[in-house]
Amino acid sequence: MKFFIYTLIFTATIILSVTGLMGNAKNIPNLEISQNSTTTKQRTPLNLLVPDLVTVSLNQESYTGKLTSFNANYLTIEGHGGAEKILISQVKEMNFKGDVWVKNSDGTIRRFPWRDSSKILQELPTNAFKLDKNAEKATLDLESLSDEGFSRFSQHLNKNYGIKAIFFESSEKMAVKIMEID
């Protein structure tokens, strides 16, 4: 009988101590958890590979060459021994052509084939597109995407993309067509 009483007291002590510990635990509201989960998905810039050729279409004419610089005010393309600096306000669209080639760290050059999966990211500011100094890669700042647009696209962030086209909605806004590459 004593054994039964000691076991009962021991069990009750354990139960009370566990519930006492649980009672001191901090409850976190669901709202706080959901807010933290959305902030952990930071909108890091999307890395893009840039094909060698681009055709820049203006209202009355077009130029084809290698895109060598791009900013919110103008772009520069080079071809046939010359360069053309074009104001962004004059550009209707840019269509990139050809394969994507990247020089590896060991000096070899690798071709990245295109896949059929493309996406269009709309209403981006023109300064969201940043071309690197070698004009082989670019980054696209996704901060200005709407929450809905980012939510739809965020599931595809782990894939590799190249740029296929830029459509200028105005001199401040553009839509960017990207395509998946292997």
Element (H, E) at 165: strand 160-168
Q: One digit per residue, pLDDT tens: the chain, 182 residues?
A: 555 555 556 555 555 454 454 454 444 444 443 343 344 356 888 999 999 899 999 988 999 999 999 999 999 999 888 999 999 999 999 999 988 887 778 888 888 888 878 889 988 999 999 999 988 899 999 888 888 878 877 777 888 899 999 999 998 999 999 998 87
Q: How far apart are CA 179 and CA 160, in angstroms?
A: 8
What is the per-residue pLDDT for 35? 40
Write the DSSP assignment of 56-120 as a string of letters: EEESS-EEEEEEEEE-SSEEEEEETTEEEEEEGGGEEEEEEES-EEEE-TTS-EEEE-EEEEEEE
Q: For residue 132, which of 102, 172, 169, 109 has the smallest C-alpha distance?
A: 102
Position 99 scores a pLDDT of 84
Dihedral pair phi/psi, residue 29, rounded to 5°: -65, 150
pLDDT of residue 15: 56
| Structure-token pair, residue 81 | 């021994």
C-alpha to C-alpha distance for 165 and 15, rounded to whole angstroms:
66
The CA–CA distances, whole Å, from 36 to 11, 26, 31, 42, 147 equal 39, 16, 9, 11, 15
Domain boundaries defined on the chain: 2-40, 46-181
